Structure 1
Amino acid sequence: MSRMNRGAFIPSATTVAEQAYCAAARRIAFWTLPFLGAALFAFASLASPAHAGTALVSAESGGASAESGGQQATRIWSPEILSGNDRELYRKIFAATERGRFSQADQLTAKLKDKRLMGHVLHVKYLGPHYRTQYAELKAWLADYNDQPGADKIYKLALRKRPSQAARPATPERRHWRQPVHAGYAVDDETAESPSPRFREIDREVRRMVRQGTGEAAQAYVRRKNVHTALTSLEFDRVRERIVASYFLEGEDEKAYLLASDILQKHARDVPLADWYAGLAAWRMENFASAANHFERLAQSRHVSGWSKAAGGFWAARAALAAGEPEKVAPFLEIAADTGATFYGILATRQLGRTLHIEWVEPRLDEAAFRKLTENGAVARAVALMQIGKRGLAREELIRAHGVLDPSQDQALIALAAAYDLPAVELQVANAAWLPASAAQKGRIVLNEGLFPVPDYKPSTGYKVDQALLLAFMRQESKFQPDATSWAGARGLMQIMPATASHITRDRTLARANKDKLLDPTFNITLGQDYLTELMGAGEPYGNLFMLTTAYNGGPGNLARWMASMDFKGDPFLFIESIPAAETRGYIERVVTNFWIYSERLGQPVGSLDASASGTWPVYKAAAGR
């Protein structure tokens, strides 16, 4: 059962509190009673009517109720850390500290029974504008709280204030990160060998030249004796693989094919993407039989990611059909389809005549699992922070906790994050969570719900485009981090540039003084939706999803230039693969894949997938109800 259907199990609410309880109940997976399979309902003690902790139910003895039809009643438990009194005290303490009323905050602190959030309180005090912090205070904070969010800032300030003879403060505890393991959606490194320092230096220079569209200059550079002799034979060909890509993207198909062929004679196994570009170059030269051979070898490689394997299989099927070998099409499509939730894998599944059907793994949380989770200090603090409405800090605590929790607790952590409507946490944990062994069966697309969270964000003007489309962009742009800021200055869930926001709203202050307004989730996705609506007309035909995503990532100006310069022969897939910017190529495939998967999860038609599978441009059409 997807989270979209859980509302059917929630009783009607008549009071504000009950409505809040029901909102949280819709965010949790419930245990079912053994009798009649009846669903148990849970109510939470919430930080606010919109978001809060989630109540869970355990089936223990109790009286009968009308809802249970005379059956045994259930005991309701609530995932709380703070008592009601401490919750109110902390709210007042944070408010007083933020206003610089430290005496008032100290008086309130003396009344606390649970002081686990004092590290956060002192962090606000020491880094705020109303208090002149002493080195001894910062050193003491790091001694007690160096495992908490914000420790880096405290440490930097402590180093600046440290007297010359004073002992150094404790360093912030190193964060631990779990690597993504979800085979269907992880982007794997295509090579495993550790490169030498000289290789990294040469490779960096070649990449710089390739970015400038000068494959010929890069080729001349690597032919220099001092460059060539500094590399092993394999390193030399890995560098030249980038030049093959550059030749293809510059439209130099014959040069790309010849160079790729030379590489493949020696290192076909270890430089597999040379087959990819050789295949694309051969396709564009209408040498379909050769293209099919190269794509097939890529599809059969054991040294590429699922995304590359899917691309090889899908394009091998296309090339085989074009070469007059239709009997090979279905086997190649099966290779692509077996990669699951990849761009070309989903397309292959549809071309095989199967509908897009995803089996969703629903994370569950019971009282015992919750108690086990909160043995971790960061998780316990996160729950307490949610009780007082500090969502951003709670999110950071859970993200940090994930790195040290046992993987067996992943599903419970995803369920807790979903209950609190913290999609960034859901996504991070689900990316590293193994699916149950029973789910990993050939021919099925099985995904953890946390990989594609459905948060409660909504544009202030209502949905003008499908919710699935907005979620698809948010997932790729910010991974649902509301405060995400890129190196270029893009901000918020939809990663909108301040200048773009100013253009959309005609408010010049958004490009300067008010640019941090873009960190407000509702404001950000409202502008993002308006910008998507504007970009619908950037390509041909109107609403072309491949061109819409290109314009959003690369800019409408680049889209127009690429359209004029690329030789993609009217082929939607060759259009994608001919785009000079690697980031944009990957972006199109991931956002469109996100859109298809979210549409399936929300029960909406996936007409653009049908169009793509038939070889035509996928055109966005709003779903009924959105």
Structure 2
Amino acid sequence: MTRTFARVLRHGALLGGVALTIPAWTAPATAAPAAVAPVDTGAADAGADARLIGAPTLEQIPDQLDAEQRGAYRQVFAAIRDGKWTDAQIQLDTMKPGPLHAIARAEMYTAKGSPRVELEPLVALLNEAPELPEAEQVARLASLRGAVGLPPLPVAQRLIWQDGAPRRVRAKSLKGDLIAADLALKMQPYVKADMGREAQSLLDSTVGLTPEALTEWQQKISWIYFLQGDDANARVMAAKAQDGVGEWAVQARWVGALSAWRQNDCASAGAGFEGVAARAGDVDLRAAALYWTARSDMVCGRPDKIEGRLKTAAQFSESFYGQLARQQLAMKDKGTRVGGVVASDWNVVGKRPNVRVAAALVEVGETDLADTVIRQQAKIGDPREFAHLVRVAEALSLPATTVWLAHNCPQGVTSTAEARYPTPNWTPDSGWRVEKALVYAHTLEESRFRNSVRSPAGAYGLMQIMPAAATDFARERGTSIDLKALTKPSTNMDIGQRHLERLRDMAGVTGGLLPKVIAAYNAGPRPVGDWNAIVHDNGDPLLYIESIPYWETRGYVTTVLRNYWMYEAQGGKKASTSRTALSQGMWPRFPGLPGAVAVRMNATPNRRASASTATLGNAMQPNIAVNARVGMQSTTVTRAD
């Protein structure tokens, strides 16, 4: 045992300069939450996360149009969108030819319901701008008119899909098994009501299941027991499933390890998490298992193993737990690029007609069309210019384009993490009330910055705002709002940040705790209020996150927090307050609240978990397991998934 790790073991103090979490049950329970000051994050970067300094801006790209041209082209494109073909044609003909004449004509010629265009103007357009995204369609029209010997069009290269940041992969149910399908129907009421014993009894009475189906249901029942706080039965069922077949076996091992952790059985928990790390097929779960194994090593007095686990987890630097591991190891974030890079990028790609057209389109508010043009340039452009194109797209405040480019690259080109976290130069209608990094973290997960996207549930735009919620917020301000306004970034983000504030201020639901606010944004405040009564987290924020009953919300919380930290680092913040808090077993509060930035939560015992510990004969002396609760008790039962 080295001197450093011996000191860690004795005091729970530093590992590489940052404290490694000791679970809440290793200390006596207290009756109320205690505010604890965070580690010093350095005064020099105060506010940096709100500014997102260093992001490229439109000012670094020269104007393509003068004021008169902007006004005239806005009229042209408005006429095209409204189907006023004659007005658009007259406006173009009376203007001096400019950067957007060709694409305006291309849009008009190819628009649904537009008048027939004869051969001569089609050929003229192809000769003038063969690189435009409409060129192939224009060429087909020309061929239908009898054209021969058309100018050659640029050859589009195949772009290769590249995966982004890690995500937890959900195990898939077995398909095509009639017995399993019948069992699933019979299980529905027990799953919805979290009735573990009844579900287990039904499973025990079902014969003819394949090994894969049996493993799946054993895991699901172990999860129901875990949600109930019945760790003993959760471990029994998980132990059966973890020796089964398929990906559900790994998920069962994970539930068993979490149950052992909650029972204060660090040895069994550590073995379980280590088994998950060795078997997990996805990066996110592997990083999580490595981090939780390190936590178990800490509690069990195995400091010599901690650093190696954390270093392995830290390799997955874009995962939630990889970020926490980096925090534990005091690894520095890369930070943002230096200013002035975009000027040199423009020197490379600014000579490309499509890039100049896209820049001009942004000036007149035609951002969707600018997105199409940039994508076309990515397909026909020199792969050596691709990175420059990505940075120019971000400087043009085309974040959806930037994200698309980050996932669709030419052969031999690898996208950077930076491209996956764009920082458009936008401002909400009422200014920034919530940290920009946190708003963008939600926006990236909600819509990938697609301002016109609509969900099956009817949510609109960047932050997926429901029309009813938008109406409520507008009424509070004495105004009205229509659906079209929700596609406007400044309006959508303003409503989104106000909704975050409202969730923040729900003392009986979120208590202003950041993980719960994020969960409520996804699942709604009512489920989060219910979970305050049924989730047995022992005051541990990470255990709370892993115990959230909804699969989607569990993933949403970790993804948004990861996004938040990436944006903070990209914006020049030297140390993330929320990441530091979580790495120390503390609950980060919503940024900007007065008082402590993080709290340590202790509350009422989880008697079922404590009794189960005694039943298993744990060699450790179990302290009372404690559960962080915020708000009123609730008997509402949530679904298990």
TM-score range with shorter-chain normalisation? Answer: 0.5 to 0.7
Question: Could you tell me which residue of structure 2 aligns to residue 282 of structure 1?
Answer: 260
Pairing 1:45–2:63 present: yes
- Give the conservation status (yes or no) of the 8 Å contact 1:499–1:510: no
Q: Which residue of structure 1 lines up, in the alignment, with residue 403 of structure 2?
A: 427
Residue 102 (1) aligns with residue 72 (2): no
Aligned mates of 1:385, 1:521 — CA distance in 2:
17
Q: 1:115 to 1:351 in 2, by over 3 A?
A: closer
Specify the alignment match of 1:319 in structure 2. Answer: 296
Structure 1 residue 549, shift from structure 2 partner: 0.6
Q: 1:475 matched to which residue of 2?
A: 444
Within 5 Å, which residues of 2 pair with 1:262-411? Answer: 262-267=240-245, 271-301=249-279, 303-352=280-329, 354-358=330-334, 366=345, 370=349, 382=358, 385-386=361-362, 388-399=364-375, 410-411=386-387
Instruction: Go from structure 1 to structure 2 and tell me whether the alpha carbon gap of 1:368 and 1:469 turns closer, same or farther (over 3 Å shift).
Output: closer
> In the TM superposition, what is the alpha-carbon distance from 1:281 to its structure 2 partner?
1.7
Match of 2:58 in 1: 24
C-alpha change, 1:380 and 1:253, in structure 2 (3 Å) is farther
Give how far 1:383 is off. 5.2
Can you list the C-alpha shifts for 1:408-463, whole angstroms capped at 9, x where unaligned?
554133122113110111122224559999x9xxxxxx953222211111123222
1:611 alignment partner in structure 2: 581
Query: What is the rounded CA distance, in whole Å, between the counterparts of 1:620 and 1:401 in structure 2?
Result: 41
Equivalenced residues, count: 510
SS at match of 1:516: helix
Identical aligned residues as a percent: 27
- Whether the aligned pair in 2 keeps the contact of 1:502 and 1:509 (CA below 8 Å) is no
8 A contact 2:167–2:555 mirrored in 1: no
Task: Give the CA deviation at 1:522.
Answer: 0.9
Amino acid at match of 1:345: G
Equivalent pair of 2:266/2:297 in contact (CA under 8 Å): yes
**Cα distance in 1 for residues equivalent to 2:218 and 2:540:** 27
8 A contact 1:190–1:304 mirrored in 2: no
- Match of residue 536 from structure 2: 567
Indicate if the aligned counterparts of 1:459 and 1:522 stay in contact, CA closer than 8 A: yes
| 2: CA distance, partners of 1:123 / 1:609 | 51
Q: Determine the C-alpha separation between the residues in 1 that align with 2:477 and 2:304.
A: 60
Contact 2:203 2:217 in 1 (8 A): no
Q: Distance in 2 between matches of 1:506 and 1:92?
A: 32
Identify if the C-alpha distance between structure 1 residues 105 and 460 changes in structure 2 by more than 3 Å, giving closer, same or farther. Answer: closer
Deviation at 1:515, TM superposition (A): 3.2
Does 1:181 pair with 2:163? yes
Q: Is the 8 A contact 2:297 2:306 kept in 1?
A: yes
TM-score, length basis structure 1: 0.68
Give yes or no for contact 1:339–1:345 (8 Å, CA) kept in 2: yes
From 202, 208, 232, give the equivalent of 1:254: 232
- 1:595 is matched by which residue type in structure 2? Y
For 1:500-519, list aligned pairs within 5 A.
500-506=469-475, 514-519=482-487
Q: Say whether the 8 Å CA contact 1:279–1:290 is kept in structure 2.
A: yes
Letter in 2 for 1:395: D
Alignment match, 2:455: 486
- Asked whether the 8 Å contact 1:213–1:246 carries over to 2, the reply is no
Give the stretch that moved more between structures: 526-535 or 252-261: 252-261
Q: Residue 498 of structure 1: CA displacement?
A: 1.8
Q: Report the Cα distance in structure 2 between the residues aligned to 1:189 and 1:404, rounded to whole angstroms.
A: 34
Kindly provide the amino acid, as one letter, of the partner of residue 442 in structure 2.
F
Counterpart of 2:105 (choices 118, 123, 129) is 118
Residues 311-366 of structure 1 show CA distances to partners (whole Å, capped at 9, x for unaligned) of 101111122223333333222222222211221111122223x0541255788664
The 8 Å contact of residues 494 and 528 in structure 1, kept in 2 or not, is answered as yes
Contact 2:581 2:588 in 1 (8 A): yes
In 2, distance between residues paired with 1:359 and 1:201?
54
Higher relative contact order (CA 8 A, sep 6+): 2
2:493 is aligned to: 525
Shift of the 400–277 alpha-carbon distance from structure 1 to 2, 3 Å rule, reads farther
Change (3 A) 1:316 1:434: farther
Q: In structure 1, how many angstroms separate the alpha carbons of the residues matched to 2:584 and 2:174?
A: 45
Structure 1 residues 62-89: Cα deviation after superposition (integer angstroms, max 9, x where no partner): xxxxxxxxxxxxxxxxxxxxxx98x887
SS in structure 2 opposite 1:341?
coil
- How has the CA–CA distance of structure 1 residues 599 and 97 changed in structure 2, closer, same or farther, with 3 Å as cutoff? closer
Q: SS state of the match for residue 198, structure 1?
A: coil
The one-letter amino acid paired with 1:533 is E
Match of 2:621 in 1: none
Contact 1:498 1:510 in 2 (8 A): no
Once the two structures are TM-superposed, the CA of residue 616 in structure 1 deviates from its matched residue by: 1.0
Q: Which moved more, 1:387-396 or 1:448-457?
A: 387-396
Which is further off, 424-433 or 490-499? 424-433
Aligned residue identity for 2:167: V
Q: Give the secondary structure class of the aligned counterpart of 2:102.
A: coil
Comparing 285-294 with 581-590, greater Cα deviation is found at 285-294
Residue-by-residue CA offset, 1:548-587 (whole Å, 9 max, x unaligned): 1111111111111111121222211111111111111111
> Aligned partners of 1:246, 1:401: CA distance in 2, in Å?
51
Q: Provide structure 2 residue ranges, at least 5 long, that are not aligned to the other structure.
A: 1-47, 138-155, 595-641
**Match for residue 76 of structure 1?**
none
Contact map agreement 1:465 1:529 (CA 8 A) in 2: yes
Task: Give the alignment's Cα RMSD to 1 decimal.
Answer: 4.8
1:552 alignment partner, SS class: helix
Alpha-carbon distance between aligned partners in 2 of 1:407 and 1:204, rounded to the nearest angstrom: 53
Looking at structure 2, the residues matched to 204 and 544 of structure 1 have their Cα atoms a distance apart, in angstroms, of 42
Shift of 1:503: 2.9
Quote the Cα distance in structure 1 between the aligned partners of 2:310 and 2:453: 38
Q: Measure, in 1, the Cα distance between the counterparts of 2:319 and 2:182.
A: 29
2:151 equivalent in structure 1: none
* AA aligned opposite 2:76: I
d(CA) in 2 for partners of 1:387 and 1:569? 54
The residue that corresponds to 1:577 in the other structure is: 546
Aligned ranges 1:147-166 → 2 under 5 Å = none
Q: Which moved more, 1:609-618 or 1:255-264?
A: 255-264
Q: TM-score, normalised by structure 2?
A: 0.66
Stretch deviating more after TM superposition (500-509 or 529-538): 500-509
Aligned position for 1:620: 590
Q: Does the C-alpha gap of structure 1 residues 237 and 252 become closer, same or farther in structure 2, counting only changes over 3 Å?
A: same
Structure 1: segments with no counterpart, 5+ residues? 8-21, 27-42, 50-83, 153-173, 440-445
2:215 to 237, 245, 253: 237
Q: Which of 378, 384, 393 is residue 417 of structure 1 equivalent to?
A: 393
Q: Does 1:448 pair with 2:417?
A: yes
Question: What amino acid is the match of 2:586?
Answer: T
Contact 2:159 2:409 in 1 (8 A): no
Within 2, Cα distance between the matches of 1:115 and 1:239? 61
Equivalent residue number for residue 77 of structure 1: none
Offset of 1:398 from its aligned partner?
3.5
The structural deviation recorded for 1:395 is 1.8
Question: What residue number does 1:67 align with?
Answer: none
Q: Is the 8 A contact 2:160 2:411 kept in 1?
A: no
Q: Aligned pair in 2 of structure 1 residues 238, 176: CA closer, same or farther (>3 Å)? A: farther
Match of 2:192 in 1: 212
1:73-92 matches, cutoff 5 A: 91-92=74-75
